[in-house]
Amino acid sequence: MAAKAPQIEQPQLYIITPAEFELDVFPDLLARVLDAQPIACVRMALATQDEQRLSKAADALREVTHARDVALVIADHIPMVERLGLDGVHLSDGAHQVRYARKELGADAIVGVHSATSRHDGMGAGEAGADYVSFGPVRENTLGDGSFAETELFKWWSEVIEVPVVAEGLLNIEMIKILTPMTDFFAFGDEIWASDDPVAALATLTGAMS
């Protein structure tokens, strides 16, 4: 992978849905978020494995996103992408399915990968054909083993690797200010949905980029 020039543009915005949401409420809420800020991509990240539930949710979100020319990807369910008319898949378990996803979905589909804190896994994903690699969480937390993607990883990636990089997980104003020169996308999920006013929460977070 070739080196890329230093980044000068602000990162783009990427929205991650909650792991559970109500179909009679959430699509309208998502629409308000998409209308308030320029969003590049939405990830449907439902925790359920119920195919009917996933299909209904995808239909509802696709109507919202595609009306606004925003890409919609689904977390992990590669076979459902074409069936539901989605734009691609986000692989949450690292690089090993990238080539399979690309073969199944074709060159035009979005194939993104979450590589947690692993530079090696991220490089493997990029070399296998991922359209973006995400790292995170971006700061220490009390869940799991407490590991996080350090700022140095984003700095190195932005200077050396051509594949776009996404920062996600436990983003706050301080980390956004630090990472803005080093990332291509910020992915916001719980950071906005935990708020009583997701539109206002997103505005506060994106304001930190400037």
Amino acid residing at 96: H
N-terminal to C-terminal alpha carbon distance within the chain = 30
How far apart CA 116 and CA 134 sit, in angstroms, is 7
Percent of the chain with pLDDT over 90: 90
Q: What is the pLDDT of residue 2?
A: 44
CATH class of the domain comprising 12-207: alpha beta
**Residue ranges of the chain with pLDDT lower than 50?**
1-7
**Nearest-5° angle of CA 91, CA 63, CA 48?**
40
pLDDT digit string (tens) for 134-148? 999 999 987 778 899
Q: What is the pLDDT of residue 175?
A: 98
167: left (phi over 0), alpha (psi -120 to 50) or beta: beta
Q: What is the pLDDT of residue 1?
A: 40
pLDDT digit string (tens) for 81-124? 999 999 999 999 888 899 999 999 999 999 999 999 999 999 99
Q: What is the pLDDT of residue 183?
A: 98
Model confidence pTM above 0.75? yes
Q: What is the pLDDT of residue 8?
A: 53
189 to each of 14, 27, 106, how far by Cα in Å?
Answer: 9, 15, 28
